[in-house]
C-alpha cells in the first residue's frame, strides 16, 4: 500500500465516513469496484441512485449532463459541451442536491476524489476531441467568497481543481483568479449575478514561481490551455467573468469542467 492510500485508510478509521446521500455510516474499507472506485462515499442503496441521477437527460437537447450542448445565455464558452456529471437545482431535495451540499460545506476528501474519478474521463474525452494534450493544461478554479472561505475553512473549487489536475495530468494548479469582497451568487438574480461577478472576480496578475523560477504571465500562458473548474454552474456568470479575465491576461484557450449544472431550458 502506498503512502497516499495508507493515509486515506488511516483517516477513514479515525473519522468514519458517512454516505453523501443518506448520511448512514459506511465501512471505512471497501472493495474497489468500477462503480465506487474504492472510495466509501455512498451506501449500497444510494450508489445506484447516484448513477441514475447521472443518466437523467436534458429536456431540450436530450443528452445527459456530461454531453449536453445547451449553454447559459450570453456566455463566453467556446467549447462544444461542458464536461459534468449531473443536472442540479438548489430547490431539489434529491441525492444530487444533498451530495453537492456536503461537498460545499464539508471537507469530504473521498467525495472529491470520487467526483474526480467520474469527471476526469469526460474531460480527457473533450481534450482529445479538441486535440489538446492534457499534460499542457493549466488547472485553476473560481474562488469562493472570503466570507464563505472563513466560515467553512476550505475552498471546494481548489480541492476539485487540484484533484482533477492530478487525475488528468495537468502540470500545475494555480489560483489565477481572486475575489474582492462581493456577495454570494446563490442569493442573487441572473442580472445581479453578472454584475456581482464583474465587480468581484479579477485575474491574479502577480508573478509565479513555477518549477523553481519566477515566470511572467506571458510565459505562463504561451500556447497553453486553461481548464477552469467549478463545482456547480447555475447561470454561468462567474465562469463567464473568469474566462474573460483569463483571456485578457493571455490565455489561448479556456475550457470549463464542473460537477453539476442547472438545466438550461431554451425558449421555444
DSSP state at residue 226: E
For 198, residues 6+ apart whose C-beta sits below 8 A from its C-beta are: 241
CA atoms of 156 and 152, how far apart (whole Å):
10
Contact of 262 with 84, CB cutoff 8 Å: no
Task: Please give the share of the chain, as a percent, with pLDDT higher than 90.
Answer: 37
> In which band, very low, low, confident or very high, does the pLDDT at 268 lie, cut at 50, 70 and 90?
very low
Q: What is the pLDDT of residue 130?
A: 92
Burial class (CB in 10 A: 0-12, 13-18, 19+), 44: exposed
Give the CA-trace dihedral at 168, 174, 176, 180, to 10 degrees. 120
Contact of 221 with 250, CB cutoff 8 Å: yes
Contact of 203 with 248, CB cutoff 8 Å: yes
Domains with residue ranges and CATH for the chain: 56-261 (3.40.50)
Higher pLDDT, 107 or 77: 107
Residue with cell 454561468: 236
CA atoms of 117 and 29, how far apart (whole Å):
18
DSSP state at residue 85: S
Higher pLDDT, 205 or 63: 63
> In which band, very low, low, confident or very high, does the pLDDT at 241 lie, cut at 50, 70 and 90?
confident
Q: What is the pLDDT of residue 184?
A: 64
Whether 195 has a pLDDT exceeding 80, the answer reads: no
Residues 149-170 have a mean pLDDT of 91
CA distances (Å), origin 134, targets 46, 121, 169: 32, 11, 6
Q: What is the pLDDT of residue 2?
A: 44
- Tens digits of per-residue pLDDT, 105-145? 999 999 999 999 999 999 999 999 999 999 889 999 988 88
> In which band, very low, low, confident or very high, does the pLDDT at 5 lie, cut at 50, 70 and 90?
low
3-state DSSP call for residue 215? strand
Q: How many CA atoms lie within 13 A of 9 on its CB side?
A: 10
DSSP E strands, the chain: 86-87, 137-141, 172-173, 177-179, 201-203, 208-210, 213-215, 225-233, 253-261
| Structure-block grid coordinates of residue 33 | 469496484
Amino acid at each position: 500500500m502506498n503512502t497516499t492510500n495508507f493515509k486515506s485508510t488511516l483517516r477513514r478509521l479515525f473519522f468514519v465516513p458517512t454516505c453523501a446521500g443518506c448520511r448512514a455510516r459506511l465501512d471505512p474499507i471497501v472493495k474497489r469496484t468500477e462503480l465506487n472506485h474504492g472510495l466509501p462515499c455512498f451506501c449500497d442503496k444510494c450508489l445506484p441512485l447516484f448513477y441514475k441521477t447521472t443518466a437523467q437527460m436534458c429536456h431540450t437537447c436530450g443528452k445527459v449532463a456530461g454531453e449536453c450542448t445547451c449553454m447559459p445565455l450570453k456566455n463566453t464558452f467556446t467549447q462544444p459541451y461542458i464536461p459534468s456529471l449531473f443536472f442540479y437545482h438548489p430547490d431539489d431535495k434529491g441525492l444530487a442536491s444533498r451530495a453537492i451540499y456536503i461537498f460545499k460545506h464539508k471537507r469530504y476528501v473521498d467525495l472529491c476524489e470520487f467526483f474526480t474519478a467520474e469527471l476526469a474521463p469526460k474531460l480527457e474525452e473533450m481534450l482529445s476531441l479538441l486535440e489538446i494534450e492534457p499534460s499542457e493544461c493549466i488547472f485553476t478554479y473560481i474562488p469562493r467568497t472570503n466570507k464563505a472561505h472563513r466560515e467553512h475553512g476550505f475552498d471546494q473549487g481548489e480541492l476539485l481543481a487540484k484533484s482533477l489536475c492530478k487525475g488528468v495530468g495537468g502540470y500545475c494548479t494555480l489560483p489565477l483568479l481572486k475575489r474582492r469582497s462581493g456577495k454570494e451568487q446563490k442569493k442573487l438574480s441572473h442580472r445581479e449575478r453578472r454584475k456581482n461577478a464583474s465587480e468581484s472576480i479579477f485575474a491574479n496578475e502577480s508573478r509565479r514561481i513555477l518549477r523553481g523560477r519566477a515566470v511572467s504571465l506571458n510565459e505562463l500562458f504561451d500556447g497553453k490551455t486553461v481548464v477552469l473548474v467549478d463545482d456547480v454552474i447555475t447561470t454561468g456568470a462567474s465562469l463567464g467573468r473568469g474566462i474573460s479575465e483569463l483571456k485578457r491576461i493571455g490565455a489561448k484557450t479556456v475550457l470549463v469542467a464542473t460537477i453539476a449544472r442547472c438545466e438550461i431550458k431554451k425558449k421555444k
